[in-house]
Structure formats: structure tokens, C-alpha cells
Structure 1
Amino acid sequence: MVGAHATMAIVGGGLAGAKAAETLRAEGFSGRVILLGEERDHPYERPPLSKGYLNGSSERAEVFVHDSAWYAAHDVELHLGQPVVAIDRATRELRLGGDGDVLGYDKLLLATGSAPRALDIPGVGLGGVHYLRRLADSERLRATLQTLGRENGTLVIVGAGWIGLEVAAAARGYGAEVTIVEPMSTPLQVALGPELGEFFARLHQDHGVKFHFGATVTEIEGRDGMVLAAHTSDGQEHPAHAVLIGVGAVPQTALAEASGLELATREEGGGIAVDAALRTSDPDVFAAGDVACAFNPLFGRRLRVEHWANALNGGPAAAKSMLGQEVVHDRVPYFFTDQYDLGMEYSGFVAPGGYERVVVRGDVGKREFLAFWQTAEGRVVAGMNVNVWDVTDPIQALVRSGAAIDPDRLGDPTVPLETLA
């Protein structure tokens, strides 16, 4: 156990940082815990920002990791609206923005997350152009969608990834018209491949969403500071009253890079390079959440995972590692989505070109099925359940097993999943 007079500093006021602070106290650490957040809101979870809170099915208070009194009650020093601008690893000090205060640390966790990838085209500064990452973004977008629904307005979404599709579902729920512009031939093509990408295209088309595939947005036209239309690379014009840009996220590595910490390569997904114990190239500095590119022994490579479960589990794992405990963070990557009446969970990791076939069991037409990504050797590298519940554990067991599985048995709903691994 780290000494009682030690100081644990956590930079990043999101889910990973908050769960790390919680775990430090739960594990009996009695020293100083400092949590520094760039935003002025208490640490919150991000999935509701494009799901329940955005679509109006949940309230603002439900997004927070802890209630505001929790931090003082557990002697966690919470610094909100105070970005860290520099790390001095030689002296183990953090310099804060604004007043330039300096804080010392014995162990440091970087949980700085990621930021929306910016689109550099004319018109992105117009008043009706949105990105979605922070709670304030979701509040502003929610108000816009409500207005579009009342006035039969149109939202153009740039990018058919998870954020784009979840916002599309919320917008249709309010009654807004939606057009999605996507350079690939299906939604989610990089994440799921064309087979399941086409499934999600049909889901949204059945709910009135229009897709424009094979093109990019080259300009957002406006007048008097407001959006009028989005122009695409193939010369088409899409009338719009608002635009959401959802073209991916970039890990927030500036602090780590400036302090000389090792970064992961672009091929690995970028981010701060950490080992399976979430240690960086500095033994006193750790990283977790979206910003961390961690070696996962299960897959034999570094992975950077931008999903809720990685922050939920990575923060506690990093905290235990900071305390000197033996940690191997080798969880199967997991994420979920809710769109209209469809709920989906996905477990595993598929590199581009890393599968031979997709095996389906169940009824795709009824939107109640499982899908498995298999290699040529028959290994299951990922599995997805759509409107079928309580199967995450056996799906993850298949991924962990690395066993070659007969695709006919894998696709047979009469064969229990538990018997395959």
C-alpha cells in the first residue's frame, strides 16, 4: 500500500477519473486525492448525452457519476474548471491554468479523454453547427432538436458512426427531418463491416432517415450566422436548419506529449501508450479511459477503446495499479447502443480486415438476433446481441476462448452458447 502521506492526482473529470477516485478510497487509501476537471460540471457519464438525456427519456441529474456531496464526504479534493497546462515529471508537479498554481503528486493518473474531430470546411462556425462531447453540447443540441421537431426542420448529420446514428434516432423522436452524409457505402462500416452496417441503414430508413452515401460535406452554407444547407463533394445540396458533425474523436494527449511520455502509434489508435497495468513510460504516471492505448494480453496488442465500459473499468484498474497492486487490465472491449426500439451490445475487437465471415443466429427481420465475427480459422473475435439479453457473458467467453468453432453450430439457436467455448 502506498503511504498515508502520499498524494494521488487525477487529471480528467470524467467517468474514468471519478471511478479512480472512488476506488482509491474503497481500497483504503487515506492520503490526499485530488481530482482536476477542465469542465465546471461534476464528473458525469457520456452515454446519456447521445441517448437518454438527449432524447428526453432521462433527466440531467441522472448523468452524474456521484452526487455533488460525495466528493467532500470522501475527502476528494475536486477542482472544477481548472485545466492542467503542464506536467513536470522531474519534480512531480502539475501547473494549473489561470492563476498558475502548482500541485505536487506522488502518483498521477491521466484521464483526459478525447475531443470531437474537427471538420475544416467553410461554414463550421455558423450558429446551427453542433459537435457532441460535453454536457453543455448535449443541452444545446437537445434544445435544437426540440425546435426542429416543432417546426418540421431538418438536421444534417455529417458521419454515420455511433454518435451520428444515436443523434438521428433522438432527432426523429422529436419529429425532426434527418439526412446523414457518409463517405462509406453503409453506416458503421469501419466498426461493424458492411454486413451489419446495412442492417443499421435499414433500421434508420424505416424510421424516415435519409442517407447520402459515398460523399463528404464540403461546405455549410448560411445566412445571418445561421445554417441554410450542406453541400457535398458530388455537387449536391441538402437543405438544413442545423448540422451535427460526428466524424470521430481525437485522444487528448497534449499534456502527455509535452511532458515526454510515450505515445501510441497511429496504427495502434494513438493515445498514451500504457502497459496492461495502465502504467505509462513513467512509473509514477498512469493513464485510463479514452486517452489510454493499453496493451491487452487477450489480443496481444495495444488497443485504444473509446467506450463507456473502458472508462468504467479502466479507472478502478488504474487506481489499484497506482496503489501498487498487481493489475492486468485484459477485459474484452464492450459497448452498447440504443436507437429507437433497438438495444444492442457488442463485445470484442475486430481489426480492419480481421474477419472472414459474419455468422448470424436469430431473426434479423424481427431485429432479434446475435451476430459473430469469425476468422478464417473459426475463432470468434467479436459478438453482438440485438434485442436479445443476458448473453454478454457467454459471448465474451467465446471471444476469450480463442477456440475454433463450427460456424453451423455457432449460427444454430438450438445450440447453447455456453457449450461452444
Structure 2
Amino acid sequence: MNAVLKPTSPPTHIGSGTNAEWHARRQAATPRGVAVMGDFFIDRAKNAEFWDIEGRRFIDFAGGIAVLNTGHVHPKVQAAIAAQLQRFTHSCYQVVPYAEYVSLAERINAIAPISGPVKSAFFSTGAEAVENAIKIARAHTKRSGVIAFGGAFHGRSMFAVALTGKVQPYKAGFGPFAPEIYHAPFPCHCASLEETQRAIEQLFKCDIEPSRVAAIIFEPVQGEGGFNPIQQAAVTWLRALCDQHGILMIADEVQTGFARTGKMFAMEHYGVSPDIMTMAKSMAGGTTLSAVVGRSEVMDAPNPGGLGGTYAGNPLAVAAAHAVLDVMAEEKLPERANLLGERLLGRLHAARAKNARIGDIRGLGAMVACDFVHPETGAPDADLAKRVQQAALKQGLLLLTCGVYGNVVRFLFPLTIEDIVFEEAMGILDTVLA
């Protein structure tokens, strides 16, 4: 029997109604698995500020989870999208290609810190980029095994979440996962390189021989895992290990890319060339675009038709990405990331001198975070991190938590933030941390 279409009310502009009304409608219309932090709804935004549908103003130190390095609706990004909108919105690049896709690949190839000839392919999400990077690695090496790290986040799709090294909330209830994925401790401030080396040696002895490992994938700075920069010595060792056994090194720069760490890509800090990189998030100013970039001979391994996607390399997002690259250069955003990161680190260290509940403080450029701990034991204090987040939110400053134990507050402000707005946010942070 055919379903009867029920009449619906005409679309309502998001600016009408109250937050409470829309919150109730959200709960009735969308599943609980899509967790939402705020009980308010955005109406409009500009650079590092946004206003909800009731007119309240917030300073955005979340940036759409590291997507808005160039801020909300940057005029140049907005203009690029508007201009493309007048030409065409879709053709499917694999059916009818467009020059802007190719020219963006040329620009990304020129700045990616990968040795030798480089090629790029575009997709829609970070998880999609990660999964395609693994496909490419397997096609090139004719191997199947993949090594990832504890605390990693590589996405929510089934293979990407299998690579992810954090059970709650990403993996719980969704198994079994793809086989031949192995995890080792991540060599950062919370695990030594020796632990990682022993764990991978154990994998090679007990689980999979190195000649069957296609790739080792890692984030130069773990995102969801707690903003944990990998140790320099670990990157050098991983490169040598990969070279020894014919394994491909994949650097997941979905969150670290596009000036967040004070360089265009975090791997530039380490002086080591990966074989493949993934990127997304701030690549296209809030539009859906991701990329896999790698050595040409590696990228050419899949057969024609093995890569792509109906929306992969969407023309509007490609136009936005061209504008983002222009803004990054013109406004010197890598340099600004370092400047703002230093200012934030100074405030955090000053706060820790007066508050024993603030634990480790770390950052690379403007990818900065701090731990909250029980002062008597040093154990992670997720409840305190959440209270800090809520206290800041009440004063109009939006922060995010992260970390395997949920006790980390991270800072992801747009790199284009005005100095006066940044200092206003620092004042709120000082008050909250006191």
C-alpha cells in the first residue's frame, strides 16, 4: 500500500522559535547517537563569533572541530563559493571533469611535505580520505595489514573507526571490525618510544609478519586522543621501520593540517616525508572536502574507477579550498597560529602556577590543550574538565573537551580571530581557571 504523504508546515527560518523549542524538536526528529553538546542553535556567525537564535553571542574556540581556521564565512571564501554557485554545482568529476579540481591538486601537490613527484585525489570527509588512503596503500603494496595507535581518531565509518584507538563513544556496540588492524601505544608525552617499539616488535612476533603490513597510520598530533604531539624520535624511527620492511607511512593530517600547528602541515615540524597524507577539515572553510596526497607511484596503484565518489571534489568545496589557500598565504596564518598559541600557552601556564588541578599543558602552534587532574593523585579528572567547559560557556566562550579519559580541554579558535576578541576570550578563561 502506498504511504500517505502528510501535509507539513512550511519551512521555518532557523531564527524563529526558542532554543528550548528546537531542542525538543531535535530530540523527537533525530537519533540520540548523533550527540549534540549545546542546547542552543546557531543563527549567524562572523569570524570567531556566532549568535544563537535567541540573540546570545558566543566566542567560538571550537571552530566546528578544527574546520574553521579561516573563521566563519570569511569574505574571500564566501565570494569564491558564490561565484562558483553561478556557474555549476555538480557534474561528478569522474563523469565531466572541471579544471578547478586539477588546479587545486597542483596547488596541494606543491605544498605537501612529501618527497618526489606527488599526486592528489579529492573526497568529501576525513574518514573517507583515511579509508581511501588505506585502499591505495593496499593496492600499492599488495598487503593487507595496518598498524594504528591507541588514542587515535581516524573517523566514524566502519574501517576508519576500526583504526580509531578509542572505544567510547566511537567503537562501542559497532563491532566486529575489519580484520588485520593492529594498535600500539602512541609515543607522545604519555608513552615512551621504547614502549611503542616493544609493542610493534611483539606484533611482528605474535600477530603479523612485517612483510604483510601495508601501512602504519598516525596523527602527528592526536586530536580526539588529547592533542598529543608525537615524539620527534618516534617519527624518525617509524620512517626507518617503514623503509626497512617496505611499509607505507600515512600521516593523518585531517585535524593538524592547514596552519593549525604553526606550519601548513604538522609533518613539516618533523623533517620526515610520509608516503601518503590525508587532509580535510580546514581545507575548504567549512564545506565538505578532503584529500589523499601521496607519492605518484603509490597514488597510481589503484585501477581506474577504484577511487572517487559521486560528490568527491565537489565544485563549491574546491572553489572554497582555492580561496582558503589564498587566505592562508595572504594573512600569514601559520605565523599567526604560532603567535596566538604562545599567548594562550602563557595564560595557561600562569593559571597552572595558581591551580594544582591543571595538569600537563602542551601545544604545537595553535593546537593547544591542557589536562585537568585530581591534585592529590594526578589522576585524570573528566568531571572538572566538563565543569570548566560549562563555566566558560555560561560566559559566552565555547570550548571542547577530548582525551582518552575526557579530562582535556582543547582550544581551536579561528586563526583569523581579531586580537580584541581573542583577549576577551583570554579574560573569560582566566576567570574560569582561577
What's the TM-score once normalised by structure 1's chain length? 0.31
Considering fraction of residues, name the structure with more strand.
1
Between the two structures, name the one with larger relative contact order (CA 8 Å, sep ≥ 6).
Answer: 2
Per the normalisation by structure 2, the TM-score is 0.30
